[in-house]
Amino acid sequence: MTTHALVGDVGGTNARLALCSLENGEISQAKTYSGLEFDSLEATIRTYLQEHNVSVKEACIAIACPVTEDWVAMTNHSWAFSIAEMKKNLALEKLEVINDFTAVSMAIPMLKPEHLMQFGGKEPQKDKPIAIYGAGTGLGVAHLIHAADRWISLPGEGGHVDFAANSEEEDMILEVLRPELGHVSAERILSGPGLVNLYHAIVKSDGRLPENLAPKDVTERALADSCTDCRRALSLFCVIMGRFGGNLALNMATFGGVYIAGGIVPRFLEFFKASGFRAAFEDTRRQQCGLHRFSAAGTTPPQHRRQRPPRPERPGGQSGVLPWL
């Protein structure tokens, strides 16, 4: 009789695998593998099971790409597979493959206050819509709604929406990146590779040649204050993160909170807290939301509603007061 199921978090860079107790949900024996070391996800799973000398009959894999049918092809990796075929090859009785931010969203209602760090605002409203987003190798987005006494996750590919420049500096960034990338999505800015894109655009806009830096190089130099361009890129990254989150809050009136997940923000948390993130989050002036950050588990924002000043009275009618998010 098996006592554990296999669980996994598969991103564009790493695959994290662990065992989940079928009795109490406790996670154990977690291990991270580089996606570059294996030709397939199946090979990675086989290695994990062999190393831990364990057999399982059930598995759930959260993966960084849309999951709409049997064939799954990763957005930021070369791995692709048939769910049915992998289930058969691994002799599993049950295999669930879900979007990674669907998995993150499903964890949000389980979080406790000690798992969260709040950035401004008030407490979230009970059972109201929730937004979750986060930057890693890509930009993940999901929503949660409460209906019929349960939470329902609404997966999506919001990271691929158009990047909307909102300042002269961002116009310049867009002008540099568009000829190189074609469609400049939000993910082309708000991700590990996106941070490098910001750095390159800042340097090129000044008529200089950028160095060949990795995301961690840009972050480290920015935090050490040893590179003005890197610090400018990281500051702009935080501002755009804030405005993207504010737009998500407007899309579904997320009075239940906006949570930040992903692997990038925790690496420069103090810088993030002191950045223009919060001001940019509120910059639409349509919502005064509280925003939490997803620490090891997640983040969220709350909010309160304010009202637009009354409209001038229309001829033959009454003035109206509309809720202002």
Q: What pLDDT digit, counting tens, does each position of 179-203 carry?
A: 999 999 999 999 999 999 999 999 9
Q: What is the mean pLDDT of residues 298-308?
A: 36
Q: Is the pLDDT of residue 307 over 60?
A: no
Does any domain span residue 231?
yes
Classify residue 317 by burial, with Cβ atoms within 10 Å: 0-12, 13-18, 19+: exposed
| pLDDT tens sequence across 21-35 | 999 889 999 999 999
Q: What 3-state class would DSSP assign to 182?
A: coil
Residue range(s) defining the domain that contains residue 22: 4-92
Mean of pLDDT over the chain = 85
Given this model, what pLDDT does residue 305 score? 32
What value does the CA radius of gyration of the chain take, rounded to a whole number of Å? 22
44 and 171 share a domain? no
Q: What is the mean pLDDT of residues 296-312?
A: 35
271: region left, alpha or beta (phi > 0 left; psi from -120 to 50 alpha): alpha
133 and 200 share a domain? yes
167 and 301 share a domain? yes
Given this model, what pLDDT does residue 22 score? 92
Q: What is the mean pLDDT of residues 140-145?
A: 93
159 and 296 share a domain? yes
Confidence of residue 302 (pLDDT cuts 50, 70, 90): very low
Given this model, what pLDDT does residue 216 score? 94
Token readout for 50 is: 């062999």
Given this model, what pLDDT does residue 325 score? 23
Among residues 169, 176, 293, 138, the alpha carbon closest in space to that of 239 is found at 169
Q: Is the pLDDT of residue 286 over 60?
A: no
Look-up of token digits 């998010």: 325
Strands 58-63 and 4-10: parallel
Given this model, what pLDDT does residue 52 score? 95
Among residues 45, 7, 10, the alpha carbon closest in space to that of 27 is found at 7
Domain boundary among the residues 61, 92, 123 is at 92
Token readout for 286 is: 């349509």
Token readout for 170 is: 């961002």
Confidence of residue 1 (pLDDT cuts 50, 70, 90): low
136 and 248 share a domain? yes
DSSP state of 118: E
| pLDDT tens sequence across 123-142 | 889 999 999 999 988 899 99
Q: Please, what's the largest Cα pairwise distance for the chain?
A: 79
Q: What is the mean pLDDT of residues 254-260?
A: 93
Does any domain span residue 104?
no
Among residues 308, 189, 169, the alpha carbon closest in space to that of 242 is found at 189
87 and 124 share a domain? no
Write the CB contacts of 271 (distance below 8 Å, at least 6 apart in sequence): 222, 223, 234, 238
Confidence of residue 153 (pLDDT cuts 50, 70, 90): very high
Q: Is the pLDDT of residue 175 over 50?
A: yes
Write the CB contacts of 23 (distance below 8 Å, at least 6 apart in sequence): 3
Given this model, what pLDDT does residue 314 score? 26
Neighbours of 40 (CB within 10 A): 13
Q: Are 280 and 113 spatial neighbours (Cβ–Cβ below 8 Å)?
A: no
Given this model, what pLDDT does residue 284 score? 61
Beta bridge partners of 151: 146
CATH label of the domain that carries residue 217? 3.40.367.20
Nearest-angstrom CA–CA distance, 291 and 282 = 10
Given this model, what pLDDT does residue 313 score? 32
Among residues 15, 263, 234, the alpha carbon closest in space to that of 134 is found at 263
CATH label of the domain that carries residue 72? 3.30.420.40
φ, ψ (nearest 5 deg) of residue 317: -140, -175
Q: Which of 34-43, 57-66, 306-315 has the lowest mean pLDDT?
A: 306-315
Count of structural domains, the chain: 2
Look-up of token digits 């894999």: 61
DSSP state of 189: T
Q: Is the pLDDT of residue 218 over 50?
A: yes
Given this model, what pLDDT does residue 191 score? 94
Amino acid at 11: G
Q: Which of 107-111, 262-266, 272-276, 313-317 has the lowest mean pLDDT?
A: 313-317
Q: Is the pLDDT of residue 42 over 60?
A: yes
Instruction: Pick the more confident residue, 120 or 113.
Output: 113
Q: What 3-state class would DSSP assign to 295?
A: coil
Look-up of token digits 């969220």: 300
Q: Is the pLDDT of residue 242 over 90?
A: yes
Write the CB contacts of 221 (distance below 8 Å, at least 6 apart in sequence): 213, 227, 230, 231
Q: Are 56 and 92 spatial neighbours (Cβ–Cβ below 8 Å)?
A: yes
Q: Is the pLDDT of residue 169 over 90?
A: yes
Q: What is the mean pLDDT of residues 44-69?
A: 94
Does any domain span residue 238?
yes
Q: What 3-state class would DSSP assign to 255?
A: coil
82 and 153 share a domain? no
The model's pTM is 0.78
